[in-house]
Amino acid sequence: MLAGDFRLALDAAEFAIACGIVPDDWQGDALRSLDRKLLLNCSRQSGKSTIAACIALHQAIYAAPSLCLLVSPSQRQSVELFRKVEELYRRLPSGPEIATESVLKVEYRNGSRIVALPGNEATIRGYSGAAIVVVDEASRVPDDLAAAVRPMLATTNGRLIALSTPYGRRGWFYEAWAHGDGWQRVRVTAEDCPRISADFLKDEEAELGQWQFRQEYLCEFVDTAEQLFASAVIEAALSSEVKPLWD
């Protein structure tokens, strides 16, 4: 390994720079983090997929042989994330040789693989021994798919990185964010992103309405517009602390 390579191996933020991405502060922290369970609750277009792609590629190159799995609600979205990995790889001045490559996966000569999986619980069973599983658009990933992902990390003590905007107060991503144990939580609103202007956000707020704007850009777990009762009311109603209205 060359001296420069050691720097990139030890510091994934330096690696991102070598791929042409100068990380924002939170991106640098996420790249350097060693957390096994990481939740990135980040605004639209803040750069969460790019950084997850970078983390997966760094793992594949410098911790070979590693299996890195990309999961999302649909194959189309997983392939989108996989394309980001390929784009970063192409920008590297030097990287491992590719042994085989398709639209869904790449295997490097160092033995590492990066695989884009379909958003379907039955199809993804069978993969095991993953070093990293990246779950993109995680709030839209059904609970059964998320549950199928966990055993893939069992034998490797691997990392689970889930990135998303919120999607109401329901589902595994919300539960992990609100109540889960052992997760490192990162929240990045659009106001924290230097590439999103205040003018753009003003327009979006007017176009989208409050509920969607707060969800997509302010990363708030707000109840869906169509939900008749607010989650807080339902939770209170189900809580044993609440006295019945009549005995």
Ligand X SMILES: Nc1ncnc2c1ncn2[C@@H]1O[C@H](COP(=O)(O)OP(=O)(O)OP(=O)(O)O)[C@@H](O)[C@H]1O
Q: Which residues bind ligand X (CB under 6 A)?
A: 21-24, 27, 42, 44-50, 195
Give the integer Cα–Cα distance in Å for 59 and 139. 24
Among 27, 49, 59, 66, binds Mg ion (CB under 5 A): 49
How many binding residues for Mg ion (CB under 5 A)?
A: 1
- In angstroms, what is the minimal distance from the CB of 79 to Mg ion? 12
Contact 149, 2 (CB under 8 A): no
Give the integer Cα–Cα distance in Å for 43 and 201. 11
Determine, following the binding rule CB under 5 A, whether residue 46 of this chain makes contact with Mg ion.
Answer: no
Residue 47 interacts, among Mg ion, ligand X, none and using kind-specific CB cut-offs from 5 to 8 Å, with ligand X
- In angstroms, what is the minimal distance from the CB of 153 to ligand X? 22
Contact 166, 174 (CB under 8 A): yes
Give the residue with the Cβ less far from Mg ion, 8 or 81: 81
Token pair belonging to 83: 């394309």
Give the residue with the Cβ less far from ligand X, 37 or 44: 44
Q: What sign does the dihedral 122-141-75-63 (CA atoms) show?
A: negative
Residue type, 126: G
Give the integer Cα–Cα distance in Å for 86 and 233. 46
Candidate ranges 45-53, 89-97, 164-172, 187-195; the one touching Mg ion (CB under 5 A): 45-53
Give the residue with the Cβ less far from Mg ion, 140 or 223: 140
Q: What is the DSSP letter of 154?
A: T
Candidate ranges 43-51, 172-180, 191-199, 232-240; the one touching Mg ion (CB under 5 A): 43-51
Binding residues vs Mg ion (CB under 5 A)? 49
